[in-house]
Amino acid sequence: MRHKTIFTFLFIAFFAVNAYSQADRVVGIWLTEGKNSQVEIYKTSAGTYAGKLVWLDEPLDENGRAKTDKDNPDRSLRSRPLKGIILLKDFNYNASAKEWKDGTIYDPESGKTYSAYMWMDDNNTMNIKGFVMGMRFLGRSTTWTRERNVRN
């Protein structure tokens, strides 16, 4: 009986660790679909996943100053630099669906925030779909690729 209990415990522990490692697959530096920016996805202290903009191909505006969040609907945030801005927030991993869900994605080009979910085709390809009004089937998808090198 004791061996059966130990085996059951080890079996459960293996799957718990495996689910945890699957969730963390998303952590890293990702090159956006247009290949003009990099986003670092990380695990927050609350256990959710978030992503911040860490590199821009063209970091300066037409006046030679750092690009800002000029289209943000909150006027007080329009002067903040784009580099370092949090684009992805509050994603939770759903092991049965193999996706990160219940998050949001901010589009600095429009100043809008959308509900979103993410899934990976493989270790180096991630899909993100943003949508509105709870309708996952309506929205826009983008595909990001894992980066090996962090650009400055």
Residues contacting 82, CB < 8 A, separation 6+:
53, 56, 59, 66, 67, 68, 69, 108
Selection from 71, 77, 24, 31 nearest residue 53 by Cα: 31
Average pLDDT, the chain: 88
Q: Which CATH number, 3.30.70.2740, 1.10.3720.10, 2.40.128.520, 3.40.50.300, labels domain 26-146?
A: 2.40.128.520
What pLDDT is attached to residue 35?
95
pLDDT tens for 16-67 read 444 447 899 999 999 999 999 999 999 999 999 999 999 999 999 999 999 9
What pLDDT is attached to residue 152?
62
Q: Which two tokens stand for residue 123?
A: 């270790």
Longest dimension (CA), the chain: 75
Helix or strand holding residue 20 (H, E): helix 2-23
What pLDDT is attached to residue 19?
43
Compute φ and ψ for 23, nearest 5 degrees: -65, -40
The domain ranges of the chain are 26-146
Average of per-residue pLDDT across 111-120: 96
The residue ranking higher by pLDDT, 1 or 49, is 49
Q: What is the pTM of this model?
A: 0.83
